[in-house]
Structure 1
Amino acid sequence: MDKLLSEVLERIKPSPEEKEWELSIAESVKSKLRKIIPRNVELEIVGSVAKNTDLRNDRDVDLFMLFPKDTSKKELVSKGLRYAKRAVSPNPWRIGYAEHPYLKAEIEGCTVEIVPSFKILNINERASAVDRSPLHKRYILSRFDERKCDEVRLLKKFLKRFGVYGAELKVEGFSGYLCELLIVCYGSFTELLKNASNWRSPAIDIERYHTEKGMREKFKAPLIVIDPVDRNRNVAAAVSAISLSKFILASRAFLRRPSKGFFFADETEFSRKELAKKMRGRGTKFVAVVFPTPKVVPDILWPQLKKAAVSIVRHLELAEFKLFGYDYWSDEDKRCVILLELSTHTLPAVRKAVGPAIIYEKDVGSFIRKHKNAIGGPHVEGDKVVAVEQRKVTDALELVKKMTKKPASYAIPSHISKSMKRAYLLVDEDILNENFDEFLNSYLSTKEFFIDNLI
């Protein structure tokens, strides 16, 4: 296994030239900023580049402007962004949002994020969530040597392979800092995987701030990893149950049959003809709700898109249509898609309403009053009263159309609701006329690449 991991590392570790290039861009921006900012504002490179845990071709640098603690948050944001815009000009930039806005610029193929924050010496001085980052950097550098940096790289690439790297709401996975802490805890990539293979409700506290019982009472999450620089924070809060489960299974699978396939994907090709054959073979009804992407940042877009999909599914199921599955996707620019796969998409014109058992006198009376205008009954079946009602909706497509016309009435979140009013529906193979084949293929091909290793 050592030979395998060494060969993987050769492919994922940045070359000295790449590191030098990234740092030269960072120093260039720092140099420009120093000519603009007041003397009491400090500059610090943080993130994976500064901690030497970055992957080859990541090409991103995090640069923090550290303002004195007596600066108001309003002043920090307004002045910080103004300084940043001047420093990166004339390169293209856009505003990103964490707890407060920051600037994201593209400079010679490298993404540079300039983040205004407060300079703090300990976590008790924290005024915003981003203030922790320099403390994280110092903690990791105090614990790491070159070997452990490489172990983090292996872990990041492993997680990327099955789509659970990244704490953003689109992914709900493992952040870079969480990866670093897991290596601090277990010492190496393989030791982490050996332990993770047997995880049951894992709770990790490197600095032993809490009892295990105290951790579980304080943090309700599938994975708990206490931040060594902030005892009141779970670094793994973003990790979903699905992401954690995939990691545990992939760990077992890799230890059984290690291969480079756990780090690098084979190029797989598929045609629309193959997708159409798969769709027809399932014998279900596919409906795609397509609408413009609202102008919001990804961390607002993805949870709202998820809530919208869940709400549509819930209302279809309340109307007694049966869903086989669903998914959602966006290019984060022009289009959003909610994909529905229905086992039952049409229903009879009538439905049977089953009431209470006849022994419940008051409930029986209420049921009869409620259904006195039923087209059949109420009458007795077995020991219950039942009624036959006219169904309000018999076609799932009609209900979905109704939801897109008045999305707010169906608990669709605000930003999605505005865009969904311009939605159009695609059914079955008509979906293939649009350019989201990869999304559709990922939905139809759900088998994890490592799953056979678990047999």
Structure 2
Amino acid sequence: MSFISVVNKVLSKVKPSPAERDRLSNIVRRVSSLIKDSLLNNGISAEVVPGGSFARGTFLHGAHDVDFFIRHKDPADLESFPRVVLDAFPEAVRVEGSRTYFRASHGDYELEFVPTLLIDDPSDALNSMDASFFHISYVNSRLDNALRDQVLLFKQFAKACGVYGAESHISGFSGYVIELLMLRFKRFKRFLEFLDQGNNELFLDLEGFYDSVSKAYTALKVNRSLTPVVVVDPVLPTRNAAAALSRESFDKFLLQARLFLRGPSESFFTVKEPLISDLTSLARDRGHPFFTYSFKVSGKRDVFFAKLARSLRLVKARLERHGFVVYDHGFLSDGTVYFELVRDVLPLTKRVIGPPVSIDSAHFNAFISRDAVNGPYVFNGRVCFDVAREHTRAKPLLLKLLKGIEF
């Protein structure tokens, strides 16, 4: 199947229909009205403006999330923002960020309410939330319908790779970054071809704020080993819009991009969550032990999974600290977590390698004054001991660590 035939078929599936656009527009009007009434009842002067991909016309078919900026004229009124939202949506959940914001549900739609200041210039922003409003006008004044189609292709491809979204448990491409990249490359295929040429780093400064990459990296405090993509925010040049994108997520995208160019197929745009049975079979084929554990998904899903992702990184580190090699681990959308280990039973002892045998007396004495199963002895010119392991079986340790996770 040719590239063009694949993307045309994908576009026909991911572009929202006129009826879907109208339905979402009605939801936006209804929610805006509820917030405006609450502002009036609380005596607060502020604007309610829809944001995100809805406002920029780049939302995918089936999208059920909408952002709203509550733009306050008086900074002092920001303190009343929680009351305004909770009066309109009593079940809204508080989320801590550079400013407290809220998430709520309305039918089967997920809403996000962001408090900002009503400013005319993004340079007057007190934090990045204030500047985010200006993303709407920047993108809308430059994206035409053809470019919006390219954005939709990029978003769906990233979604299928599991790297669409700047949330901490995804660490992927935000919708805004995708839009900026398409303003630069114009075609999704052109971006993939750029990556396929061996470019594993990308610097983008659409407005030319910096006269050199090194100056930009210094100003943005970029760690090149951790940050594969740097996109200078065109409305706030002190911000890397792609800061949330991790090296791991970028590499996942890069691999799929290179494979897709060599064999275009709709399957690259299909979101497929692995089955536990398939993961178990893969581990068995590799001769590795495989463990699963289930959590009940509660509260807001992105908050829950962000906490779960952080906790699993700590569990992995603890396992490895005790000598268990984690080959793979992760979680599924139903709250099931999995760990594939290289081995689940370790020897009763481990070797502790100390200083060279010729070390000075003080350090030598300090090292040999310890409890050990065996030793001291010499290994590769160093003083060594065999000490008892605290944990020799992975399963009880893993269960203990997983049961200790609190949400």
TM-score class normalised by the smaller sequence:
0.7 to 0.9
Cα distance in 1 for residues equivalent to 2:188 and 2:321: 46
Cα drift, residue 100 of structure 1: 1.3
Cα distance in 2 for residues equivalent to 1:269 and 1:226: 35
Aligned length: 392
Cα drift, residue 229 of structure 1: 0.4
Is 1:326 the equivalent of 2:324?
Answer: no
Do the aligned residues in 1 keep the contact of 2:38 with 2:85 (CA within 8 Å)?
A: no
Could you list the per-position Cα deviations for residues 280-337 of structure 1 after superposition, in whole angstroms to 9, with x for gaps in the alignment? 44333333455566868734x4454344333333333333334333334564xxx563
Alignment partner of 1:95 out of 93, 96, 100: 93
Cα drift, residue 43 of structure 1: 2.4
Unaligned runs of 5+ in 2: none
Residue 168 of structure 1 corresponds to 167
Cα drift, residue 276 of structure 1: 5.5
Do the aligned residues in 2 keep the contact of 1:49 with 1:61 (CA within 8 Å)?
A: yes
Cα distance in 2 for residues equivalent to 1:173 and 1:325: 19
Structure 2 length normalisation: TM-score? 0.83
Cα distance in 2 for residues equivalent to 1:256 and 1:222: 23
Task: Give percent identity, aligned residues only.
Answer: 29
Amino acid aligned to 2:322: A
Cα distance in 1 for residues equivalent to 2:378 and 2:279: 49
Do the aligned residues in 1 keep the contact of 2:46 with 2:71 (CA within 8 Å)?
A: yes
Amino acid aligned to 1:397: K
Alignment partner of 2:287 out of 266, 283, 288: 283
Residue 439 of structure 1 corresponds to none
**Where do residues 268-417 of structure 1 align in structure 2 (5 Å cutoff)?**
272=277, 277-290=281-294, 298-299=302-303, 301-328=304-331, 331=334, 337=337, 339-362=338-361, 363-368=363-368, 370-371=369-370, 373-380=371-378, 383-400=381-398, 403=401, 416=405
Is 1:262 the equivalent of 2:268?
Answer: yes
Q: Which is worse superposed, 93-102 or 139-148? A: 93-102
Residue 7 of structure 1 corresponds to 9
Do the aligned residues in 2 keep the contact of 1:203 with 1:215 (CA within 8 Å)?
A: no
Amino acid aligned to 1:343: V
Could you list the per-position Cα deviations for residues 59-102 of structure 1 after superposition, in whole angstroms to 9, with x for gaps in the alignment? 333333322033342123323442x338xxxxxx5325253122
Cα drift, residue 185 of structure 1: 1.2
Residue 208 of structure 1 corresponds to 208
CA RMSD after TM alignment:
3.1
Q: 1:390 to 1:226 in 2, by over 3 A?
A: closer
Amino acid aligned to 1:151: Q
Amino acid aligned to 1:24: N
Residue 45 of structure 1 corresponds to 50
Structure 1 length normalisation: TM-score? 0.75
Cα distance in 1 for residues equivalent to 2:245 and 2:274: 30
Could you list the per-position Cα deviations for residues 348-374 of structure 1 after superposition, in whole angstroms to 9, with x for gaps in the alignment? 334444433322232333322x23x54
**Where do residues 13-28 of structure 1 align in structure 2 (5 Å cutoff)?**
13-28=15-30
Cα drift, residue 270 of structure 1: 6.4
Q: 1:393 to 1:223 in 2, by over 3 A?
A: same
Cα distance in 2 for residues equivalent to 1:161 and 1:402: 33
Residue 79 of structure 2 corresponds to 74
Do the aligned residues in 2 keep the contact of 1:203 with 1:216 (CA within 8 Å)?
A: no
Amino acid aligned to 2:175: G
Q: 1:226 to 1:309 in 2, by over 3 A?
A: same
Do the aligned residues in 1 keep the contact of 2:315 with 2:402 (CA within 8 Å)?
A: no
Do the aligned residues in 2 keep the contact of 1:96 with 1:297 (CA within 8 Å)?
A: no
Cα distance in 1 for residues equivalent to 2:253 and 2:265: 16
**Where do residues 96-115 of structure 1 align in structure 2 (5 Å cutoff)?**
96-97=94-95, 98=97, 99-107=99-107, 109-115=108-114
Residue 249 of structure 2 corresponds to 243
Amino acid aligned to 1:206: L
Cα distance in 2 for residues equivalent to 1:381 and 1:241: 38
SS of 1:171's partner is: coil
Q: Which is worse superposed, 245-254 or 14-23? A: 245-254
Unaligned runs of 5+ in 1: 87-92, 408-415, 420-455
Q: 1:79 to 1:278 in 2, by over 3 A?
A: closer
Do the aligned residues in 2 keep the contact of 1:173 with 1:238 (CA within 8 Å)?
A: yes
SS of 2:141's partner is: helix
Residue 239 of structure 2 corresponds to 233
Residue 437 of structure 1 corresponds to none
Cα distance in 1 for residues equivalent to 2:270 and 2:390: 51
Amino acid aligned to 2:288: T
Q: 1:64 to 1:357 in 2, by over 3 A?
A: closer
Residue 67 of structure 2 corresponds to 62
Q: 1:147 to 1:291 in 2, by over 3 A?
A: closer
Do the aligned residues in 2 keep the contact of 1:105 with 1:111 (CA within 8 Å)?
A: yes
SS of 2:330's partner is: strand
Cα distance in 1 for residues equivalent to 2:380 and 2:50: 74
Q: 1:386 to 1:13 in 2, by over 3 A?
A: closer
Could you list the per-position Cα deviations for residues 226-277 of structure 1 after superposition, in whole angstroms to 9, with x for gaps in the alignment? 1100001111011111111122233333333323222235x899695x6665
Q: 1:313 to 1:126 in 2, by over 3 A?
A: same
Amino acid aligned to 1:94: A
Cα drift, residue 33 of structure 1: 4.3
